[in-house]
Structure 1
């Protein structure tokens, strides 16, 4: 069994199209077909069902994919490391992170890897859509993701952070004066939605719900792919959004530092000494001021979302 055969099979299994897979591999379509036929002979059964209109994985093919995909990624990574060693290049670990948080963890993480394992770290910012797919596709070696995992074959290594769910609303919103809300009240709100082609399943249902715990529908808002886009939808009054505490404060710092309506006083404000992910004792916070809500707040208000049984958001390291 050759690695080239496995690469051809995995490419077709991903695209479900021989032509697209061949183009991505820079091979002739006939070469891809021949490689998969040889692989099926070696496995002892059909891995794909081919018709004139579509290509589908058989149950055997799906089982084979789940088994060989992580191994193929590890093998390719090992080959790359060996080539770099021969060329005298340093080992490099590509770590993905979900744009909009956990920046405070990156520096000590990098220092530890460099001092203990002599590894250079390359940080790759991921969107809500590709935080899992980037690992499977080999774009990154591991990623700091918002849990739960939503891709077959991924392994959750450890949980780095657990925090309360927060609901972000405009300052003039009907819920902006509340210390907390029941998730059933989301039936009267609009929540951003992910693109129709997303494959996040249960993950999307938790973080971008389309119904309340009792089953009442939640209106679908603008399509977003990043935390920043979610906050923009809230500020424009198009939606409310569920986030973790550290994300809203970190993103507000970035979002409003260049915002047209930001005051000079806010731009020069020093960051508070407390960690933004720590419980402040005040449930209603102004995302723009990063402090207690006051008379002059005109931005986004963060209020606690009492959501059972998923009352917290977890972030962890995932890899194959």
Structure 2
């Protein structure tokens, strides 16, 4: 029995009317009649009792309907799930962001969920000192990372948003009394540096090794997390540029945030492993691009 014949039988068993069944399935009434007759010949018994006024299932038809209905729904459900997965509409997609940056892509996440309600989005935090670890280990499918990234095993998508840097200092630090600072001021103080596998060229875009005039910026305490950085800064011995989004999410008595004139601007883009691009990743990048547009 072909799947279409099963569909015709189940529709007629529900409608109990050849004309309505044909209209519902968008086939001719003759096609419905022909299918039912073929099924009855193949089975060797009548499935429907037909009169000029009514159509109803025979006991054999009731038995067949009970067995076919559950199987048909299972088959169609499986096909729908396969189509959804092929189109990137189901499954799980893990997005990695720095600190509170998931809030900056809320519109992207909302649009993606609207387009792909069967997909589960999971959020994971990416440590700034190890931006690629989660991607390479498979814990993160797409990371929202600042640029530039020049890694042969990673693919960089379109820029989504930018972030300015502010300078984090202790309230008693000599710079704390100012309204704002210059990048040149960093040459007179030690700054924190990352204790992790982040490439130097990536960190350079966050905290340059020299000021605009070429004066070296001295390294101070090594830190592995943002909280470690704040703790070190709170001692007054070091300072550090911090992304304004992270600064805005924290109110601390031991830290003062100052605007930086001519400071670096971080540019963020989605990043994923080359050779592992999936329909879900493409769908996320498409939602991100449409939202940015």
State TM-score, norm by structure 1: 0.52
Contact 2:182–2:260 (Cα < 8 Å) also in 1 = yes
Post-superposition offset of 1:106 = 5.2
Name the counterpart of 1:155.
155
For structure 1, list consecutive stretches of 5 or more residues without a partner in the other structure.
Answer: 1-80, 253-286, 289-297
Q: How does 1:98-113 map to 2 (within 5 A)?
A: 98-99=98-99, 101-105=100-104, 107-113=106-112
Q: Using a 3 Å threshold, how does the CA distance of structure 1 residues 150 and 170 change in structure 2: closer, same or farther? A: farther
Tell me the equivalent position of 1:240.
239
Whether 2:277 is the aligned partner of 1:304: answer: no
- How far apart in 1 are the matches of 2:192 and 2:234? 12
Give yes or no for the alignment of 1:188 onto 2:188.
Answer: yes
| Deviation for aligned residue 1:150 | 4.8
Give aligned pairs, total. 188
Residue 130 (structure 1) aligns with: 130
Alpha-carbon separation, structure 2, partners of 1:236 and 1:92: 43
Q: d(CA) in 1 for partners of 2:152 and 2:179?
A: 39
Alignment of 1:108-119 (within 5 A): 108-118=107-117, 119=119
**Does the 8 Å CA contact 2:210/2:217 hold for their aligned counterparts?**
yes
After superposition, give the CA deviation of every residue in 1:209-243 in whole Å (9 maximum; x if it has no partner). Answer: 33323332222221112222212211122311112
**1:42 equivalent in structure 2:** none
Deviation at 1:207, TM superposition (A): 1.8
Matches of 1:207 and 1:146 in 2, distance apart? 9
Q: What does residue 6 of structure 1 align with?
A: none
Q: Is the 8 A contact 2:146 2:267 kept in 1?
A: yes
CA distance in 2, matches of 1:151, 1:249: 31
Take 2:242 and 2:198, find their aligned partners in 1: how far apart are those partners?
20
Q: CA deviation at 1:175?
A: 1.1
Q: Distance in 1 between matches of 2:150 and 2:171?
A: 33
The answer for the alignment partner of 1:207 in structure 2 is 206
Q: Give the whole-Å Cα distance in 2 for the aligned partners of 1:248 and 1:120.
A: 30
Residues 1-320 of structure 1 aligned to structure 2 (within 5 Å): 91-99=91-99, 101-105=100-104, 107-118=106-117, 119-195=119-195, 198-250=197-249, 252=250, 287-288=251-252, 298-307=253-262, 311-320=264-273
Please identify runs of 4+ aligned residues in structure 1 that moved more than 6 A: none
2:215 match: secondary structure: coil
Query: Relative to 1, partners in 2 of residues 1:199 and 1:176: Cα closer, same or farther, differing over 3 Å?
Result: closer
In structure 2, distance between residues paired with 1:113 and 1:151: 27
- After superposition, the C-alpha distances for 1:20-72 in whole angstroms (9 at most, x for unaligned) are xxxxxxxxxxxxxxxxxxxxxxxxxxxxxxxxxxxxxxxxxxxxxxxxxxxxx
- Quote the offset at 1:199 in angstroms: 4.3
The question of whether the paired residues in 1 share the 8 Å contact of 2:130 and 2:197 is answered with: no
The 10-residue stretch of structure 1 (184-193 or 222-231) with the greater mean CA deviation from structure 2: 222-231
Match of 1:48 in 2: none
Q: Mind listing any 5+ residue stretches in structure 2 that lack a counterpart?
A: 1-80, 274-293
Q: Shift of the alpha carbon at 1:102?
A: 1.5
Indicate the structure (1 or 2) with the bigger Cα radius of gyration.
Answer: 2
Higher helix share: 2
Contact 1:166 1:302 in 2 (8 A): yes
Backbone CA RMSD of aligned residues: 2.7
SS at match of 1:175: helix
* Secondary structure, counterpart of 1:302 in structure 2: strand
Q: Contact 2:205–2:266 (CA<8 Å) still a contact in 1?
A: no
Change (3 A) 1:109 1:198: same
- Deviation, 1:190, is 0.9
